[in-house]
């Protein structure tokens, strides 16, 4: 490439360097802005309930409980994010979580496999369920929410059969992963793994590409069906970890039928919406964690106020949707999926 002399070359290089510097500064500023918003949301929501119920809300031991509960949903949400970012849904995560918890308990207690079986079996079970979800979605050519809703009924029945219709439970000395440091080890490993896959692998890059424009992704040579199935497997993998944390924290798990497992879908899905909203700041994973913590603060805040469950759900849903709506910047003319 020819340049009009040394002066023009240096000028162009300086201009390029200046542009890169501005881009880097904007990126850093955006991250700090996103982090400030997330912290502000926590402070404001905590402050409101603390003012209303200073004696019964937000004590140090209670905040620790909120955090431990949010870790369970956060682990499931960072896996579900790979599905959501592609414009798909997985309504079987609650059923998968319950099934994985039951399978892990059976392997640990009935089969005498100890913690090895308790850790490996749920992860394999979750990944297998994710594989079934992905293949069914690709082969049946019907919307993901319909496929996974139907399959959730099957997974509930399988969980009921595996548990023998009785409650699966752990003794106190078997709940290492229900409190610190056990739950922190699994949660931090899950967050680090999801961040690594999302940022440093083709799976994360292609998930964003497919979610942005599937037709363009195909024209680029991306095997769309392959990566859709793979993201379902990843989601199932994290559902297995979620199941381990859930039964360890509560020390028991009841197999349910009739779509009762759907109640476990709400928190991880809302956490993913936070991740999507704060993706513009480059903070999807931290936003998911903070979003889940915010859900716990709001939920427990309404409990201390004595609000009916129906009112809690309505206000929580509206509040979180407002947060997402206010933080997202829709592009004019963009098709919202």
- Give the pLDDT confidence of 16-63 residue by residue, as tens digits: 444 444 455 455 656 778 788 888 989 998 999 999 998 889 888 999
What's the N-to-C CA distance of the chain in angstroms?
44
For the chain, give the percent of residues with pLDDT over 90. 55
Phi, psi (5° rounding) for residue 169?
A: -145, 160
Over its C-alpha atoms, the chain yields an Rg (Å, rounded) of: 22
The answer to whether residue 13 scores a pLDDT higher than 80 is no
- pLDDT, average across residues 86-113: 93
Place of tokens 């509040």: 319
257 HSE (CA, 13 A, CB side): 9
Report the DSSP beta bridge partners of residue 215: none
Q: Is the pTM of this model over 0.75?
A: yes
Give the pLDDT score at 328. Answer: 55
DSSP string, 42-83: HHHHHHHHHHH-TTTS--HHHHHHHHHHHHHHHHHHHHHHHH
129 and 239 Cβ atoms separated by less than 8 Å? yes
Report the DSSP beta bridge partners of residue 253: 168
- pLDDT, average across residues 127-135: 97
101 HSE (CA, 13 A, CB side): 35
- pLDDT, average across residues 294-298: 89
Q: Tell me what the pLDDT averaged over the chain comes to.
A: 85
Domains, in order of start, for the chain: 42-325 (1.10.3470)
The answer to whether residue 336 scores a pLDDT higher than 80 is no
Q: What is the dihedral of CA 296, 93, 270, 286, to 10 degrees?
A: 80
DSSP state of 331: P
- Give the pLDDT confidence of 94-107 residue by residue, as tens digits: 999 999 999 999 99
Least confident of 6-10, 34-38, 140-144, 269-273: 6-10
- pLDDT, average across residues 229-249: 96
The answer to whether residue 310 scores a pLDDT higher than 90 is no
């Amino acid at each position: 490439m020819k340049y009009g002399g040394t002066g023009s070359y240096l000028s162009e290089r300086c201009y390029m360097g200046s542009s890169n510097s501005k881009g880097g500064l904007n990126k850093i500023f955006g991250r700090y802005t996103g982090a400030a918003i997330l912290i502000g949301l926590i402070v404001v929501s905590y402050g409101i309930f603390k003012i209303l119920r200073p004696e019964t809300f937000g004590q140090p031991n209670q905040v620790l409980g909120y955090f431990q509960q949010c870790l369970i949903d956060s682990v499931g949400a960072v896996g579900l994010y790979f599905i959501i970012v592609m414009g798909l849904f997985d309504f079987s995560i609650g059923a998968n979580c319950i099934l994985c918890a039951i399978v892990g308990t059976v392997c640990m207690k009935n089969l005498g496999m100890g913690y090895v079986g308790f850790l490996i079996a749920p992860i394999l079970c979750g990944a297998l369920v994710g594989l079934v979800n992905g293949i069914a979605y690709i082969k049946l050519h019907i919307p993901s929410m319909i496929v996974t809703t139907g399959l959730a009924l099957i997974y509930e029945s399988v969980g009921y059969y595996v548990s023998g219709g009785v409650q699966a439970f752990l003794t106190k000395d078997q709940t290492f992963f229900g409190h610190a440091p056990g739950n922190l080890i699994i949660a931090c490993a899950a967050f680090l793994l999801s961040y690594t896959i999302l940022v440093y692998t083709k799976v994360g890059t292609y998930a964003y590409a497919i979610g942005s424009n599937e037709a363009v992704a195909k024209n680029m040579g991306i095997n769309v069906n392959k990566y859709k199935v793979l993201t379902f497997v990843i989601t199932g993998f994290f559902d297995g970890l979620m199941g381990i944390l859930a039964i360890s924290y509560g020390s028991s798990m009841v197999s349910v039928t009739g779509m009762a497992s759907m109640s476990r879908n709400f928190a991880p899905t809302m956490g993913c919406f936070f991740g999507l909203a704060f993706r513009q700041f480059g903070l999807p994973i931290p936003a998911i964690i903070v979003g889940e913590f915010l859900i716990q603060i709001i939920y427990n805040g309404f409990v201390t106020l004595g609000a009916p469950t129906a009112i809690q759900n309505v206000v929580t849903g509206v509040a979180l949707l407002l947060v997402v709506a206010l933080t997202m910047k829709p592009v004019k003319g963009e098709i919202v999926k």
